[in-house]
């Protein structure tokens, strides 16, 4: 058994998987905290994109660990949904900005009543 031939596809160790998952968890949590604390509507949506990033890293890390391309295919769909969401959310925000001339999320807090 020559080690060079086997080194072509090297399986990911559990530890490396854990490292990548930790990074993805950190990004997701930071995105969540940002979503909760920012008051600018556009930046709140940008923070959801940050959470998408965290999820994408986790998906790709698991796909690499199990040597399955499905993880990467899912990330393609995540990208699609993120693009669609950005288009729609930004359209809505432009509409809201025209009404009240502010991007503050609290300007629309009467919607919750």
Partner 1 sequence: MSPAILYAVCVLGALGLYLLVRRPRAAGTGTRLAAVAGILLGLGAFGWLVIGAAESIAPGQVGARPGVFYIMFSLVAVASAVRMITHTKPVYAALYFVLVVLASAGLFLLLEAEFLAFALIIVYAGAILITYLFVLMLAQQAPDPDNPTGQAEYDLFPREPAAGAVVGFILLALLSRMIFQGAGQLEGPDAYTAQVQAWNELTRMPERLKELIAEGGDEEITLGWGEEQPILTVAADGSATVHYRLASGEPKTLALAEEAMPENVQSVGLGLILKFPVSLELAGVILLMAMFGAVILARRQIELTEDEKRQAAGLRRLGHHDEPAPPRGGGG
Report 66-105 residues binding partner 1 (CB under 8 A): 66-67, 69-70, 72-73, 75-77, 79-88, 90-95, 97, 101-105
Query: Is residue 55 close enough to count as binding partner 1 by CB under 8 A?
Result: no
Size of the site for partner 1 (CB under 8 A): 82
Instruction: Quote the least distance from Cβ 51 to partner 1, whole Å.
Output: 10
Beta strand ranges found along the chain (DSSP E): none
- For 20-23, the CB contacts below 8 A with 24+ separation are 20/57, 20/58, 20/61, 21/58, 21/61, 23/57
Q: Which residues contact 11 (CB under 8 A, 6 or more apart)?
A: 65, 67
Please name which of 80, 67, 87, 89 lies closest in space to residue 12, comparing C-alpha atoms.
67
Query: Is residue 109 close enough to count as binding partner 1 by CB under 8 A?
Result: no
Please say which residue, 106 or 113, places its beta carbon nearer to partner 1. 106
Please say which residue, 10 or 113, places its beta carbon nearer to partner 1. 10
Angle, CA 96 vertex, CA 92 and CA 101 arms, to 5°: 145
Instruction: Quote the least distance from Cβ 24 to partner 1, whole Å.
Output: 9
Query: Is residue 48 close enough to count as binding partner 1 by CB under 8 A?
Result: no
Query: Is residue 108 close enough to count as binding partner 1 by CB under 8 A?
Result: no
């Amino acid at each position: 058994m020559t080690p060079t031939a086997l080194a072509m596809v090297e399986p990911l160790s559990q530890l490396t998987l854990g490292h990548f998952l930790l990074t993805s968890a950190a990004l997701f949590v930071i995105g969540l905290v940002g979503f909760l604390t920012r008051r600018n509507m556009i930046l709140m949506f940008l923070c959801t994109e940050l959470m998408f990033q965290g999820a994408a890293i986790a998906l790709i890390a698991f796909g690499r660990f199990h040597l399955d391309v499905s993880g990467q295919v899912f990330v393609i769909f995540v990208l699609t949904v993120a693009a669609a969401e950005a288009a729609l959310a930004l359209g809505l925000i432009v509409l809201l900005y025209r009404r009240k001339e502010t991007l503050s999320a609290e300007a629309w807090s009467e919607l919750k009543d």
